[in-house]
């Protein structure tokens, strides 16, 4: 008579293998999901910088979000606007462009801010500084290319450029 089916040992080995694979794969998956959520800010900040460049070239001064025609990913150009991950601030009180996380993203806790500040040079050329208030955990890990939006090595620490 021929034996059919699996023994209990074979089933246990298969369960152990699946458990090890799940233990490795699940944290990686959640990390990649958070990284993809954070990717929206690099695109949003890049759009802001391009629109500000065009505006400063044409008007010889910087402009507000509304003046340059910028809309945050939430579709708002005035006040504060929220997506499911970030709150964008158009008040320009401290930063010319900012996005604050409203959820935890990997090692980056809720409430961290990514920002862009600009300054106009004498030739009406704008220089930009893009960074985060938690570079080690937020910019480096989640948005490694965000700081590449900077066109200067010197930090621009307060809002400016609008004349």
What does the pLDDT read at residue 136? Answer: 81
Relative to beta strand 113-120, strand 80-82 is unpaired
Looking at the DSSP assignment, which residues form a beta bridge with residue 117?
A: 129
Whose CA is closest to 131, among 112, 110, 104? Answer: 112
Query: Mean pLDDT for each consecutive 10-residue tract of the chain (163 residues)?
Result: 82 94 84 85 92 91 90 85 91 89 90 92 84 83 85 78 46
CA atoms of 123 and 44, how far apart (whole Å): 26
Residue appearing with tokens 């008007």:
59
Relative to beta strand 86-89, strand 97-101 is antiparallel
Helix, strand, coil percentages in the chain from 3-state DSSP, rounded to 5: 40, 20, 45
Instruction: Give, in order, the Cα–Cα distances in Å from 110 to each of 37, 86, 105.
Output: 13, 9, 7
Decide: helix, strand or coil at residue 90.
coil
What does the pLDDT read at residue 158? Answer: 65
Q: In what order do the strands lie in the sheet with 113-120?
A: 80-82, 86-89, 97-101, 113-120, 126-132
What does the pLDDT read at residue 162? Answer: 45
What does the pLDDT read at residue 163? Answer: 42
Which two tokens mark 106?
Answer: 């990997």
Global pTM reads: 0.79
Domains of the chain: 8-149 (3.30.700)
What does the pLDDT read at residue 39? Answer: 87
DSSP 8-state class, residue 135: I
């Amino acid at each position: 008579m021929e034996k059919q089916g699996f023994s209990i040992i074979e089933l246990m080995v298969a369960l152990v293998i699946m458990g090890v694979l799940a233990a490795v794969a699940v944290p990686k998956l959640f990390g990649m999901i958070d990284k993809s959520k954070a990717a929206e800010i690099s695109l949003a900040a890049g759009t802001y910088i391009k629109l500000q460049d065009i505006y400063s070239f044409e008007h010889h001064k910087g402009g507000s979000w509304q003046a340059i025609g910028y809309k945050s990913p939430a579709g708002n150009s005035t006040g504060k606007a929220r997506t499911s991950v970030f709150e964008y601030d158009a008040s320009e009180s401290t930063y010319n462009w900012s996005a604050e996380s409203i959820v935890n993203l990997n090692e980056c806790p809720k409430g961290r801010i990514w920002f862009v500040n600009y300054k106009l040079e004498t030739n009406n050329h704008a220089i930009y500084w893009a960074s985060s208030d938690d570079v080690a955990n937020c910019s480096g890990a989640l948005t490694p290319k965000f700081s590449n939006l900077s066109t200067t090595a010197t930090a621009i620490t307060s809002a400016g450029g609008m004349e």
